[in-house]
A and B are shown apart, each in its own frame.
Chain A
Amino acid sequence: MYVAVKGGEAAIANAHALLADRRRGDRDVPALRLDQIVEQLGLGVDRVMAEGSLYDKELAALAVMQARGDMIEAIFLVRAYRTTLPRFGYTRPIDTAVMQVERRVSATYKDLPGGQLLGPTFDYTHRLLDPELAGGADVAEPEQREAAPEPMPRVSEILAHEGLIEPDGSLPDGHVTGDITREPLEFPMERDIRLQALSRGDEGFLLALGYSTQRGYGRSHPFVGEIRIGEVELELDVPELPFPVTLGRIRVTECQMVNQFKGSAKAPPQFTRGYGLVFGQSERKAMAMSLCDRALRAREFGEDVVAAAQDEEFVISHSDNVQATGFVEHLKLPHYVDFQAELDLVRRMRAGHAERQGEEGEQREAAE
């Protein structure tokens, strides 16, 4: 018996109620608090801020909680909120040379002005599960020291003194920095737009693409010139005031990748660069981003575009995980109208096929 599918509204409401129940889980277990997520799942919060393109730890923590720990869902929640916020203006470019650095490592120099600082890294931990952590053992206070008075110049500036590395990129005259959240993407694009897209791009996608360049699909001979993580000030120019106003501080991860040198008859050889900058602490993402950035500059350097990571339309069109998850998952929405159209076609084609087979059979019999 056919009953028209009614009651979608009640079904949706019930599904939401069940989701809320599953999200909360066993009521005997204390509910999570946002400050617990911010303090103890900080790198997850950082990822949601970075790919959600909104620097707000509490909102990101709320999103993580609401999404039951599903990072892409949390990123989506943050994006859908940020898009409704009014735009007051654009800050000055941040100056990472004066960053309050917590971690800074270079793979190209053993020692350099400002020194190497390991900071809070997983790098040399042995990946042994720690039962004490599960038991809620006390954690000792870390060693601290006064901030070193000496400045910590960026490695790109150190190399620049000798002209060994290309300077910070330049854009065409009269180019106004774009904003991918306010203008539609158009191809081909300038590097500013590309970097914005990469900075909010999916960590896993960029990681895989960066990895592919290391395995020969668009090889770029990378060295980590420098990774630095720390806080920088945000300054805004206010028309009424003769000086920029400090709005606050954000934590960022910056990666300067030093790549394959280039030279020509006119210009002496010099190293090229790939750049990565991400909200919060995310070395993996910043490094992957800088590999992708360098690969995507193939056109600029006259290199052949032969690999996926060098293909601007391919990389930028598919790097956004909110778009990707939406379009992949929309396949679960009803498509029965289109499927009916295909069913009808296949049935007709099969009928045609059977008819032809029958005719052929008759002809064979007649011949025998």
Chain B
Amino acid sequence: MNALVENIAQYNFAYLDEQTKRMIRRAILKGIAIPGYQVPFASREMPMPYGWGTGGVQVTASIIGPDDVLKVIDQGADDTTNAVSIRAFFRKVADVAVTTETAKATIIQTRHRIPEYPLAAGQVLVYQVPIPEPLRFLEPRETETRKMHALEEYGLMHVKLYEDIAKHGRIATTYAYPVKVEGRYVMDPSPTPKFDNPKMHMSPALQLFGAGREKRIYAIPPFTEVVSLDFEDHPFEVQSFDQPCALCGAEQVYLDEVILDDHGGHMFVCSDTDHCEKRRENGHTGATAAGSKEAVE
């Protein structure tokens, strides 16, 4: 056997070598210095596929230290398979403490959600980003979109939103809803539902965005203005649900629809599993507190 194969298990703390981490930290610092600007970085192949959060994993691997406490969520939940897998990866390669509690985490890596529990100063939220370019579906060429950002030429985006209103009577973007950061760059908030956009605004936490396949990092420093694009006569509004969480009774949170049977029976439960569990521990109950379908009916 080749000697390399026998020694294959030797990896640096948090997988990436220190030179790579330094390169990524520089990109992060540049991103913090220019909020909302997409910084190109020499993304590495990671031991999980592109599309599984390689950008977020590289950002987390570059900033994580032995004293950090990591929380990983996917779709708001700590127990979805990919969140489990990424958490296990960092437990293995960085031997860090992990948690599901939003308040206890120093770094939270997320895909598609921002936790319901308000983030605090000192926490870092790391987003996994598939397509970092908010203008990509309007203009497929990187050479063009970079020019548009440089010239602050965002007319195309406003035309798109206007066409939505003309066609559908409302802005028909429900997730990855574009925002303007600190009055300058239009930014893709990653495919979080627009429900979460207001949480980005003036957040005391540092927000970092990593897109591995597209090789881009961007950032929102703490207490930065993040405004969802809209029109005076069609102001931005978030989703609202007609009923509270069936398990914990929470309102003004984002809910997932759970199909109960094949006759159209369904219920709505918190997408943020940690938030839901905490509420239930504190005695809050919803319509299906007992967990039975009958309670719904």
Contact = CB atoms under 8 A, between A and B. Distances in A.
Chain A residues touching B, range: 35 or more
B127 to A, nearest CB: 13
Contacts of B148: none
Contacts of B195: 341
B258 A352 contact: no
Interface string B236-274: 000101000011000000111110100000010101010
Nearest to B260: A2
Contact of A184 (B43, B51, B239, B288): B43
Nearest to A8: B84
Contact of A334 (B46, B80, B213, B257): B80
A329 B49 contact: yes
Given A8-B81, A344-B174, A352 B169 contact: yes
Contacts of A6: 79
A76 interface: yes
Contacts of A5: 77, 79-80
Contacts of B168: 349
A327 B288 contact: no
A57 B112 CA distance: 40
Interface stretch (B4-12, B116-124, B224-232): B4-12
Contact of B42 (A12, A183, A328): A183
Interface string B62-103: 000000000000111101111111001000000000000000
Interface residues of B, number: 73
Given A5-B79, A313-B143, A344-B239, A337 B52 contact: no
Contacts of B258: 2
Contact of B51 (A1, A12, A62, A333): A333
B163 interface: no
Given A2-B267, A59-B4, A342 B174 contact: yes
B155 interface: no
Contact of B5 (A62, A188, A334, A335): A62
Contacts of B293: 1-2
B184 interface: no
Nearest to B87: A9
16 contacts: A2-B258, A5-B79, A12-B85, A34-B1, A56-B2, A80-B46, A83-B44, A84-B11, A183-B42, A188-B143, A313-B143, A323-B213, A325-B49, A326-B54, A330-B52, A342-B174
Given A79-B45, A325-B50, A333-B52, 5 more contacts: A2-B291, A8-B85, A11-B81, A313-B140, A337-B192
